Amino acid sequence: MMRGVSNAPMRDKIVVVTGASSGIGKASAAGIAALGAHTVLVSRTAKRGRKALDEMARACTSPSLDLLVADLSTMAAVRDLADTFNAKYQRLDVLFNNAGILTSRRRVTADGFEEQFFVNYLSYYLLTGLLLDRLRAGAASRIINMTSSSHSSGILDFDDLQMERRYRGWQQYANTKLMSMVFTYALARRLQGSHVTANCLHPGVIHTGLLRNFSSVLNLMFHALQRFFKQPDDGAETPVYLASSQEVAGVSGKYFRRCEPMGTTAASNDPVVQERLWSESERLSGFHYSL
């Protein structure tokens, strides 16, 4: 834990972590569970999710855990996940939208979306909206969205958000991280006075499995250099802090790095850009928030 940073007990809190079977999501879920929260792990596959859950059950004292399986690359899967959660739980205290991918080649989901655009961004917009009633019931509750320092090189081309013209995997990754940030700011503004906060974060340069779908050569290079990168447990410091600390109770619409709020690009703070992305998200997902 970083100097000056404190995490509060989370007993009786209900927390959802997507992408919880590996990397930062897994480490964050474990850290949150260790604070006493009832932690709902969302995993793309049952096998990997069960493995992560079993490891957390052995590591924590009297853990309270649940596993929901959802491949968050389709709208049907996101809706099914929300329906399942809403049927089992009456409230939600923390939603950590963490699931993400990085691909070298342009791939299209079953719904016709570019995959990084949907998984890294539009699924956040849709899942958060579908769970918003439960978040309101848990107020004061918290929404945490994963982004990255790569947002600074992101570009929002509203004529080509899904990079149909000339696909570049790294660039689209940065673009989706900027979208996640812009969404967070627009959402936080809409939630003012509701006792539901929305923040986003950069976890640091972390050695995870994110590159497994990108380039085998690049993956090998990163593997060779992994000793210079932080591990997922380090990357979990800021998400766990945002989920639990009383220091950020009521704080909303901020970007955190190393558990500290940081400034972001002019584009991310432009209300015109925020509203344009919100409108496009409504149109593409077919989902309108009840705010």
How far apart CA 247 and CA 260 sit, in angstroms, is: 11
Which residues are within 8 A (CB) of 80 and not within 5 positions of it... i.e. 6 or more apart?
70
How far apart CA 147 and CA 51 sit, in angstroms, is: 26
Q: What residue ranges in the chain does DSSP mark as E strands?
A: 14-18, 38-43, 64-69, 94-97, 141-146, 196-202, 255-257, 260-262
Contact of 155 with 178, CB cutoff 8 Å: yes
Which is the catalytic residue, given 121, 173, 185, 241?
173
Q: Is 173 a catalytic residue?
A: yes
* C-alpha distance from residue 202 to each of 177, 197, 257, 265 (Å): 10, 17, 5, 14
Helix/strand/coil for 125: helix
Catalytic residues: 173
